[in-house]
Homo-oligomer: A and B are copies of this chain.
Amino acid sequence: MEGVDHLAHERNKAQFDVEEMKIVWAGSHHAFEVSDRIARLVASDPVFAKDNRTRLDRKELFKNTLRKTAHAWKRIIELRLTEEEASRLRSFVDEPAFTDLHWGMFVPAIKGQGTEEQQKKWLPLAYKMQIIGCYAQTELGHGSNVQGLETTATFDPQTDEFVIHSPTLTSFKWWPGGLGKISTHAVVYARLITDGQDYGVNGFIVQLRSLDDHLPLPGITIGDIGMKFGNGAYNTMDNGVLKFDHVRIPRDQMLMRVSQVTRDGKYVQSNVPRQLLYGTMVYVRQTIVSDASVALSRAVCIATRYSAVRRQFGSQNGGPESQVIDYKTQQARLFPLLASAYAFRFVGEWLKWLYTDVTQRLQANDFSTLPEAHACTAGLKSLTTSATADGIEECRKLCGGHGYLCSSGLPELFAVYVPACTYEGDNIVLLLQVARHLMKTISQLQSGKKPVGTTAYMGRLGHLMQCKTDVQKAEDWLKPKAVLQAFEARAARMSVACAQNLSNFTNPEEGFHELAADLAEAAVAHCQLIVVSKFIEKLQQDIPGKGVKQQLEILCSVYALFLLHKHQGDFLSTGSITSRQSSLANDQLRTLYSQVRPNAIALVDAFNYTDHYLSSILGRYDGNVYPKLYEEAWKDPLNDSVVPDGYQQYVRPMLKQQLRNARL
């Protein structure tokens, strides 16, 4: 950080201990230490520089990513990094790459779905990157509906092999990251056919490319599916297309942990329960939620710092103009996102616990919490990724015109983040799954089944259907109990209303279909309740550091009351609160914004992001925005020459009225 700190006056205003908040954000002293050390390591390594990313064409960009990936792996080996450190390093390098799928999907798929023998064979190869794998599920014609996949894996008892085949154009694998150019292997999902019968979708380990010359093996056609949203962004990834023409693999490359095909072609279930597979899903979605808090906090960090630098209007007596962060509309847009970043952080932390809990229970053959855990992670994935995608774009708009420049870092952050709303389950499809679980929970109440975990409040329906929120003045909204009850009442009543409307249909499926939009809204209400309640629970812990807990209490209230204001309609129409209480919440929100204001810069400093990681001129730690924006502009290739290429041919003839005869 060179020179003057233009934001020093802002940092001095903070009413809490930033260093302590950094620990809270990181999750532990240990996590902070690792993160901080690795972030600096990456930032100081010239190979990991990323300033020119948005100016490279596809091939240069991709090659550049290969270089960074190889260098990252080299450093990981040289420095003997732990698994945790290696994963931090990859994330601070901050470029989507085939390694994401190798480590994030291929390895977990084998771990979760492979037998012990299979794990023993394949995992060491993968751990050393002697093979590189991807996750090939989605096809041109099928994404959300996994059961509709068309690729076939037909058992041939003569040779003891499966024949993998793409029978139609729509059955070509399409989207798998790392597939297009790099992966040597894939976990391929295909319909298992044996003895003439279709046993549905199963996973298979398939080698795709020769380990000698990297060419696709016989019968395999692979390519990259082309440019995706944004400059740089996800174009560093080789999402691919894959066509099989009767490709043979040994029988033992079917992932056989829960079901198997025997030598004579019989399809049998193993004694490992199918539900075990859900553990992996909980794991993957938990990482997505925690990634959401990272992406959102990056955007918020940029917008907050720039809002303190940017001045517009309100100069009095020739003094400086107002910092735009002092405008109430700016605060009302920005501070809820700041609060959301913290909220998502804590709910992500809690999901980590949930994953451990679920895993332990599964090992003890206790499947009782699984449906709830599954619905809960699906819902939180949907909620946090949607809010993060929208939030990043809002942060970009909060930066006015300059937010539209790639040098602000925000366009790329948005473009690279936004598919999280689609992959690992389309967010709407996921909400409908949550809604299904909620309806089931309600219908099971009658048979006396006690709702567990995040649906436990449904056990208090009697109370929640008729309770009145006890808020008489604005400050009453600071009480966690009042907030919780309002959110519980709203969620419960929306679900119950849906259940009642459903009961008017003779065919429940038809009812579910017809009322899907309302059901999705009820699911959102339920998920927001989870985030609010986990934030509140977090605050019941002991949190050391001067002023740290107070700041988090303020942010928790901001998050809850912002949602309450935004979804006022839900709260009012269900009678969970009164108009007057709603208006009091709004008043309280304004007060809270004033309390956040002096702490805003310190609250984003607590994320502890390096300038390298942020890669945003507007979000620079030192606030030295304008000279750097100016400097950066000159790096554009268009500025290589004063008179642009094309002037002589196209512009001059226009100016000289000689266009008529020009050959263009």
Question: Which residues in A have some Cβ–Cβ distance to B below 8 Å?
Answer: 47, 54-59, 62-63, 66-67, 69-71, 73-74, 77-78, 128-132, 138, 140-145, 148, 169-170, 172, 174-175, 180-182, 184, 211, 213-216, 223-231, 234-235, 238, 241, 311-313, 315, 321, 327-333, 393, 396-397, 400-401, 403-407, 411, 415, 418-419, 421-423, 426-428, 431-432, 513-518, 520, 565, 567-573, 575, 579, 582-583, 586, 590, 626-627, 629-630, 632-640, 642-647, 649-655, 657, 659-660, 662, 664
Contacts of A634 in B (CB 8 A): 223
Asked, given contacts A654-B129, A657-B130, A659-B73, whether A636 binds B214 with beta carbons under 8 Å apart, the answer is no
Considering the complex, give the chain B residue whose CB is closest to the CB of A565: B569
How far is it, in angstroms, between the C-alpha of A215 and the C-alpha of B331 when the chains are bound? Answer: 45
> Contact partner of A626 among B170, B403, B422, B565, CB < 8 A?
B170
Contacts of A214 in B (CB 8 A): 643, 647, 651-652
Contacts of A129 in B (CB 8 A): 654-655
Contacts of A646 in B (CB 8 A): 62-63, 66-67
Interface pairs (17), CB distance under 8 Å: A59-B644, A66-B649, A69-B650, A74-B660, A132-B654, A148-B312, A169-B627, A170-B626, A214-B643, A214-B651, A224-B639, A229-B230, A400-B422, A404-B418, A404-B419, A568-B568, A573-B582
> Contact partner of A67 among B396, B642, B649, CB < 8 A?
B649
Contact A638 B55 (CB under 8 A): no
Interface of A is mostly: helix
Considering the complex, give the chain B residue whose CB is closest to the CB of A421: B397
Contacts of A142 in B (CB 8 A): 312
Contacts of A313 in B (CB 8 A): 144-145, 148
* Number of identical monomers bound together in the oligomeric complex: 2
Closest Cβ of chain B to A507, distance in Å, is 13
Contact A148 B633 (CB under 8 A): no
Closest Cβ of chain B to A596, distance in Å, is 14
How far is it, in angstroms, between the C-alpha of A651 and the C-alpha of B212 when the chains are bound? Answer: 12
> Contact partner of A644 among B70, B182, B647, B657, CB < 8 A?
B182
Instruction: Give 14 new A-B contacts, CB below 8 A, not counting A70-B651, A140-B630, A144-B312.
Output: A55-B227, A59-B640, A70-B650, A132-B655, A148-B315, A181-B644, A215-B643, A224-B633, A224-B639, A226-B632, A329-B432, A331-B517, A401-B419, A569-B572
Contact A637 B66 (CB under 8 A): no
Contact B583 A321 (CB under 8 A): no
CB-CB nearest 3 A-B residue pairs: A568-B569, A569-B569, A229-B411
Contacts of A397 in B (CB 8 A): 421-422, 427
Asked, given contacts A67-B664, A422-B400, A657-B128, whether A573 binds B572 with beta carbons under 8 Å apart, the answer is yes
> Contact partner of A224 among B73, B130, B638, B655, CB < 8 A?
B638
How far is it, in angstroms, between the C-alpha of A632 and the C-alpha of B649 when the chains are bound? Answer: 30
Considering the complex, give the chain B residue whose CB is closest to the CB of A629: B140
How far is it, in angstroms, between the C-alpha of A242 and the C-alpha of B262 when the chains are bound? Answer: 75
How far is it, in angstroms, between the C-alpha of A140 and the C-alpha of B407 when the chains are bound? Answer: 14
